[in-house]
Structure 1
Amino acid sequence: MDGLVMAGQLILGLSILVSLHEFGHYITAKWFKMRVDKFYLFFDFLFPVPTVLNFALFKKKIGDTEYGLGWFPLGGYVSIAGMIDETQDASKLSAVPEPWEFRGKPAWQRLIVMLGGIIVNVILGVAIYFGINYKTGNNYIAKDELNKNGIYAGKLAQEVGFRTGDKVLKVNGKDFKEYGEIGGAILDDGIYYTVERAGKTIEVVIPSDFLNKLSDEKDPFFQPLYPFKIAQVPEPEKPSLLSKLFGKSQPEESAAYKAGLKAGDKIVTMNGYPVVFYQILKDSLTKYAGKNVAFGIERQGKMDTINMTINKDGKLGFAMENLIKLSHEDYTIGQAFLVGVHDAFDVVVKNIKAFKKIFAGDVRADKALSGPFEIAAMYGAHWDWLKFWSLTGLLSMGLAFMNLLPIPALDGGHALFLLYEIITGRPPSEKVLERAQQVGTVILLALMVFVLGNGAFKTFFK
């Protein structure tokens, strides 16, 4: 069931992004009176070969345009008459250009059509971030709140020099307002943190190969130390009919469920030692996996001691409520728009920094690039609309950035040739355009195979 929810969110998110991206090409082509032959969500052929397995799950022709839903669920396309792209080749364009064809229009109009999808993705990304900021405002952990208890340093954070309880004073020598600013600096070059530890000021320098290790690390790098209470003790899931058919047994009841822990309870001691922060408890549970432990429980101001056997995975089986104090700022419409623009284009800036790290050799491509498996996991197994739109907004800006790259077969590659035509006054030959399209398609296909294969390997074999 979790997999279906993740897949459903991924398909919905990508369908929105691809449909609106292609709509950007469609509406600008219509604006300049170009004939649009097809508008498809997903491909109605075996991409990237337009002559193989041509069929659609649904199609309807309205005017000159056939609208449809393809069977190959990787993207979509708009077929504009007189344009060399993944749906046709130069051999079909040997006749004299017609006035309603793409190639029969001025270069500046063709450039706008090629950038139409990117422009719509940027507008969508800004609109999503604007909407989220206006609705939710800014909820954040202030620097003073973060440093009341300090940070929890995970395994990798300890390797580079952090310690649990450190208080972060500066990032790259600059002050900060909120905890969220700390993580955003991780892609900067020569990053270092100034922390206070046991009354002394220390600088922790992040090594250049750090991001490769961070991508492999499942535990958090560092985060605020969280005071907590129990938010929920889930009941054991009943096995589905399919599970019963395959002989799967009833899931075992969790220790927290067996012991009768309730929402609102606080775990205050473990084997007589005080428990204040969730991450410290979690580490202790791992050490005592499979053992029976005495826990001090506070319930409605009264204390009790309960013995529970921690499972082999080092878990009791409860969801925690974080009690750290959040600061809040409401935004006016104008403020929300400006913050939305900043948040949207910050995605592009981070993508540029990430690509710079890849080409500099600081980060391996298999560590940095994410495909459908990883993106589905980011959406999560529970449908949360705020999280859905946040990630969809991020993907919209990422899609705009990727399509702007000057690779033949991408919008940016087409735009590069059109800029050449505008500057020189003469277009590249149709043969050059066809060859560039073929090379670009091979590059994209190789990248697609790499990303899908890499994602599948990390998902199923790691």
Structure 2
Amino acid sequence: MTLLIQIAQFIFIISILVILHELGHFIPAKLFKTKVEKFYLFFDYKFSLFKKKIGDTEYGIGWIPFGGYVKIAGMIDESMDKEQMKLPPKPWEFRSKPAWQRLIIMLGGVTVNFFLAWFIYSAMLMYYGEQYVDNSKLDYGVYVDGVGEKLGIKKGDKIVSIDGKPLEQFGDAAINILLGDKMTVNRNGKNITFPLKDEIKKLVLENQGKRFITEAIPSKIGFVGEEYAANKAGILKGDIITSVNDKKINYWQDLVKEIRSNKDKDLNLLINRNDELVNLTIRVPDSLIIGISSDIAIMKKAVVTKEYTLATSIPRGFEQTIDVLVKQVRQFKLVFNKQVQGYKHMKGPIGIVTIMSPTWDWQFVWRFMAMFSVWLAFLNLLPIPALDGGH
């Protein structure tokens, strides 16, 4: 069922993007009295699911849901009949139109993609608002795994800047690090700057889907479930776990690791309770759930929520669109970087389906559609015939 939902989301997103993108070519072509031979949603290799000719244009639905196209008479592309090109241009052909009209027709799809993304981001801001973790309010700094440590980041570091630019939203940390050249952190009260090496960024890409940097969460107990092992062992809300089996614990993430690696075993805990040290023993059940959670109030302090009106959502939506575009252009350089080898991690349609939400999530759908629309706009500006929005 999960896969079907993911496929449905992918087809829904692609369908809207393709139809609107191709309309960006189709409408100006019609306005300039250029003959449009075909308008297709999805590719119709060998056969189509539906087709109907209205006027000079054949409208249809193909069976390969990875795109679509318009075929404009006289547009020079990979499908052009070379013999046809030897003939004088007809008045209704693309090649007979003035340069400014040809430019508008060619850039129509890109323009629609950009404005669609802008519209979606603005609408989402007005409807959902904006919520993010303020990097400057992360009192306990960041938590990194082995890959993050190889980059030069240590647990508890506070990010000051990446490439000299202060980091406002912590959610941007991972992508900015991946695209950056140097990073400055505050470590034990001192600012330290170090290079972000390409050979380590390669490891980041190889661990796709795994976050190498997260907010550091203190090992303070925020909740104890009544019927669970933690309550039976005597753990109380407000306790701070300082060590597990004589292994020092500073962060919640470390505590979780110890619990997960000691299934059906006893854990000897050293707890700071109101500045007094308490020793407790707890048995980790087969389910690995001992009935505790972190102190959410600590993390809530770093969360910023903003509300937007129509007037304020439009400029902010434009900023988000430009930010996504800039990041995608910068990511493109990783594809050709021999050390990072980003080309090995590019996703095709099947790969994209796997990153869809496992449940139908409208917020995810619209956000992904906006991001993908910007990506399509960028790809269509590249001098690659198959991506030009034509046949």
TM range, normalised to the smaller chain?
0.7 to 0.9
The aligned counterpart of 1:26 is: 26
Matched, 1:135 2:124: no
- The 2-side partners of 1:320 and 1:22 are apart by 50
Match of 2:325 among 330, 348, 361: 348
Deviations 1:260-292 (A, max 9, x none): 99xxx9796889859895422332133214546
- The 1-side partners of 2:292 and 2:343 are apart by 33
The aligned counterpart of 1:196 is: 187
Distance 1:280 1:29, change over 3 A: same
In 2, are the aligned partners of 1:41 and 1:68 still within 8 Å (CA)?
yes
Q: For 1:335-414, what aligned pairs fall within 5 Å after superposition?
A: 335-411=312-388
In 2, are the aligned partners of 1:259 and 1:308 still within 8 Å (CA)?
no
Q: Quote how far apart the aligned CAs of 1:159 are.
A: 1.8
Matched, 1:16 2:12: no
In 1, are the aligned partners of 2:179 and 2:331 still within 8 Å (CA)?
no
Q: TM-score, normalised by structure 1?
A: 0.69
Distance 1:292 1:371, change over 3 A: farther
The aligned counterpart of 2:197 is: 207
In 1, are the aligned partners of 2:33 and 2:92 still within 8 Å (CA)?
yes
- The 2-side partners of 1:295 and 1:67 are apart by 69
The aligned amino acid for 1:286 is R
Q: For 1:2-401, what aligned pairs fall within 5 Å after superposition?
A: 2-45=2-45, 53=46, 55-146=47-138, 148-197=139-188, 199-217=189-207, 218-226=209-217, 273=244, 278-289=252-263, 291=265, 307-310=283-286, 316=289, 323=296, 324-325=299-300, 326-401=303-378
The alignment partner of 1:379 has SS state of coil
The aligned counterpart of 2:276 is: none
In 1, are the aligned partners of 2:243 and 2:249 still within 8 Å (CA)?
no
The alignment partner of 1:223 has SS state of strand
Q: Quote how far apart the aligned CAs of 1:410 are.
A: 3.3
Q: Quote how far apart the aligned CAs of 1:119 are.
A: 0.8
The aligned amino acid for 1:408 is P
Q: Quote how far apart the aligned CAs of 1:348 are.
A: 2.1
- The 1-side partners of 2:294 and 2:350 are apart by 29
Q: Quote how far apart the aligned CAs of 1:88 are.
A: 4.3
Choose 160-169 or 82-91, whichever is displaced more: 82-91
The aligned amino acid for 2:109 is G
Distance 1:285 1:379, change over 3 A: same
- The 1-side partners of 2:39 and 2:340 are apart by 38
Identity of aligned residues (%): 37
- The 1-side partners of 2:199 and 2:118 are apart by 32
Deviations 1:407-449 (A, max 9, x none): 234329x9xxxxxxxxxxxxxxxxxxxxxx9xxxxxxxxxxxx
In 2, are the aligned partners of 1:139 and 1:329 still within 8 Å (CA)?
yes
Q: Count how many residue pairs are aligned between Structure 1 and Structure 2.
A: 368
Query: Unpaired runs of 5+ in structure 1?
Result: 46-52, 233-254, 297-303, 415-436, 438-462
- The 2-side partners of 1:230 and 1:88 are apart by 68
The alignment partner of 1:23 has SS state of helix
In 1, are the aligned partners of 2:263 and 2:284 still within 8 Å (CA)?
no
Q: Quote how far apart the aligned CAs of 1:351 are.
A: 2.2
Distance 1:101 1:127, change over 3 A: same
- Which of structures 1 and 2 has the larger relative contact order (alpha carbons within 8 angstroms, sep 6+)? 2
In 2, are the aligned partners of 1:348 and 1:397 still within 8 Å (CA)?
yes
- The 1-side partners of 2:313 and 2:260 are apart by 43
- The 2-side partners of 1:176 and 1:74 are apart by 36
- The 1-side partners of 2:35 and 2:290 are apart by 60
Q: Quote how far apart the aligned CAs of 1:106 are.
A: 1.6
Q: Quote how far apart the aligned CAs of 1:200 are.
A: 4.0
Query: Unpaired runs of 5+ in structure 2?
Result: 271-279
Distance 1:376 1:117, change over 3 A: same
The alignment partner of 1:77 has SS state of strand
- The 1-side partners of 2:167 and 2:264 are apart by 42
- The 2-side partners of 1:167 and 1:36 are apart by 57
Deviations 1:118-165 (A, max 9, x none): 11111111111111222232212223421x122111111112222222
Q: For 1:429-440, what aligned pairs fall within 5 Å after superposition?
A: none
The aligned amino acid for 2:350 is F
The aligned amino acid for 2:367 is S
- The 2-side partners of 1:111 and 1:283 are apart by 57
